Structure 1
Amino acid sequence: MRSQQKNVTMSLTKQRRLRADLICTLISSSKMPRNQVAAAAGLTNTYIRDLEQGKIANVDRRKLLRLAIALNMNLNRIDEMLRVFDRASLSSDDIDSFIESAHKRKTTTALFPLRDFYAYELAVYAMEYIQGDQIMVNDRPTVCLREPGHRSFSDSRLVEAHPLYAELLETIGKVRRKQLEVNLKNYTTTHYLCRECLEDYVRANGNTQEEYWRKKHVANLLDYHQRYPNLIVRITGVCSYMLFSIKQPTDGSDIQFNFCAKPGHYVPGERPGRLSGFSTSNPVILQTFQEELDSIKRWILPEFSTREAVEAYLQQLVTS
């Protein structure tokens, strides 16, 4: 009997060491200090250190997922980590944990790279969740105004990479749209869009199905512009290669900033060296993009100076 108990103890010790080694490897390979990872995950530095030392016998699944998201792990790698902790693979039941990770995320001046598109969207949602005015500079309407099903269709290669991806993207889209509506009731969102980019977007390179979805996307922007006076659309005559969003919190805390890189095409799974974007409240970086925004403002087209002119233009794009 003692021999059996000893074997069980040795097995548990080996298992805990394996898990601790995995966490250490993940933290080390992230190139971010532990405290920065903790901020992104909404966890304490002590909790992550305890994971690294194997001190936690029964790790909370939701906290494990928040750590994985902060570490830029794609869904397949998260499944691998869950197996090491003797947990079931990702399922629809875990989507709430992904959304929760955005609520738990803390604002910091650290620069957080975002490699997977779902991680970028969660970082944007975390920023949108903060009360305050927002500025968006983009080449198309904000993604959260996409029609349900558009994401799954357009990002089919990403969807094929993991069975949960489609549902996750669609759910993030829903909560982001709901948050947009909450924000627009009390705060201003100014959306800068390049005229040429927007017209190219609607044409969709001759893809009839994609064109259908994109026109629905623009139609939704028009609908929100008509329903919410706090949504201000500015049509510009310049194409900004820097697509970004800035949030000014009402509580006086650090301004939150997100930058989105736009790769030519998506590749399923990991994309080494290809950032989806990054998130930070670093004042030096923020100042640089504030100056970029000042430049963009000088290119606002005067023919779209009124709400009526903007809405007539969007209506023309939808019906053309």
Structure 2
Amino acid sequence: MAFNHRFESIEQVADELASARYIADRALATVIFLAHRLQKPIFLEGEPGVGKTEVGIVMARLFDTELIRLQCYEGLDASTALYEWNYPKQLLHIRLQEQQRKGTEEIERAIYGPEFLIKRPLLEAIMSSNEKTPVLLIDEVDRSDEEFEAFLLEVLSDFQITIPEIGTLKARERPMVVVTSNRTRDVHDALKRRCLYHWIDYPSFEKEYTIVTTRLPHIEKNLARQVAHFMQKIRSVDFLKRPGISETLDWASALIEMERKHLDEEVVKETLGCILKYQDDIKRFTEEIWADPEKRVEYLQEV
């Protein structure tokens, strides 16, 4: 990988991630180190909002290179992810060529050149002409169909694709690839075998507190501890959607904007929408937890 610097140790990975305000445990730092050295994709799995996507974003920032992002969704196909022909430009060129009385074969050769290709994320990563190899982020692959997953398997194997009208295109350098999944469905083992796998779990209290104070350095330390403790408690409840670290940071940012220095019953009720995203969860929290004085004390405990 032609990046502008090389990771020499796992400790260096952890330190550089921390300098980019991403707090990673040693296991994740190890996976990133090995992926960089072995030129293997990283497959990150975990609940929504735990920081999987951010890994790809931070890696591009550390390497000072381009981030190419493919956001997966149901119905995503190869043409959307790889390339398509610029039909309006081709039609215009055909008319110009016909006016010049060019032959059919000559016109066909002309309109199927690289200049008529619209590059989508995967082809962008393969044909990147930048001096620095890009980081390719394939986000939420579990949302795509199994057919696309099979196609992706081929691309990640050789980092080359064949365009019938042009030929085979192969990446000059393998990009660093980060694949993420929220595990809404099982991703095929064959795809995972191509990657180094890592599960990102919800953070511990200590890690969550560190994340909050690192990302929001102006927050009151006592408030940061209360927020981290509150989030640890609320994740112990089997809600439809448990809040991740992204909700923690959103909530903490909201509390800063409200100039709050500590949590109380009123501000929790006012800002509950920063944490819980389903009305059923909000109703359950309000009726089963916040209506109980003892539980309110537990959640608002200063640690």
- Richer in helix (by share): 1
* TM-score when normalising by structure 1: 0.24
Larger radius of gyration: 2
